[in-house]
Structure 1
Amino acid sequence: VFLKMTSTTKTNKMKNYIPKRTYRERGQLERRKHLGMLEKKKDYTRRSRDFKSKDAAIKNLAKKAEFRNPDEFHHKMKNMKKNLQTGQSNFVLAGEKKNQRKERETEEKRNIALVNLRLSMEAKKAE
């Protein structure tokens, strides 16, 4: 059986080389073993601090979003375009403007070529 090496299998192999944290188990009474493992205090505090810091970051972002003033001026607003039907504003990236210019130029070239083709066809008909 041949296994095809994909990017997922490569990454799965790489994770085996990264050392993992060992969680130590605190002594549990025999009659309470069925309730599961007890973490050492050091492991618990590390895990809880990590969780609380992530939770605080999420709450901070939520608070910023709540107090955000949509009418406040930002310099990015200069590059925004508003959809008149929905009333939503969207950013226009600089790359999009360049692409629009290129598309307009190619469209103009096509139009000129089409006009020249029509002129030559009319000239042939006239002869």
Structure 2
Amino acid sequence: QATTLEFVLQFGLEISGINRKLDHTLINFVQSPRFLRVGVFILMSSSWKNAVKRKTHKERAQPKARAKWGLLEKKKDYKRRAKAHHERQAELQALRRKAALRNPDEFYFGMHSRSTKAGLVDQDGGDTPLDNDTARVLKTQDLAYLNMKKAADVKKVERLRSTLHLLGNSGPASAGGAGAG
């Protein structure tokens, strides 16, 4: 049996391309007469495992009782969503750290155009309401633009109707007498 074992180990090593000693657990596994062929298969299969076509596993659908919560989130979708969430959290944490470590006495060129009240930077008020004259001018401009677009659309409709009218009078379809009554 020792010669058979040596042959199996040598054959297996030559097939799989392994040029190193096997550990004792695999040797003991192969020495058992019941697992002699299995041991050879294990040694041979390592070079062929990537060549075998594998079955694509389909993921299940959302159960009908849970349909009110939308589509069932698959693992790859969860991983993408979790990764994006962690990236956002890391970015927010970095911004918080940067704000905490900021030196309030440091000079920035934006300080030239900003005003301060009681030592605090005056925040921009955002959008200021327009005065009545400016709002009236903008509304008339908007109305004029809409009237111009309406006139262009009316002309386009008239042009298309005229081409349809020409198509309806000419050709073998109108000569058939289907509309003559």
Q: TM-score, normalised by structure 2?
A: 0.28
More strand by share: 1
Q: Of the two, which has the highest radius of gyration?
A: 2
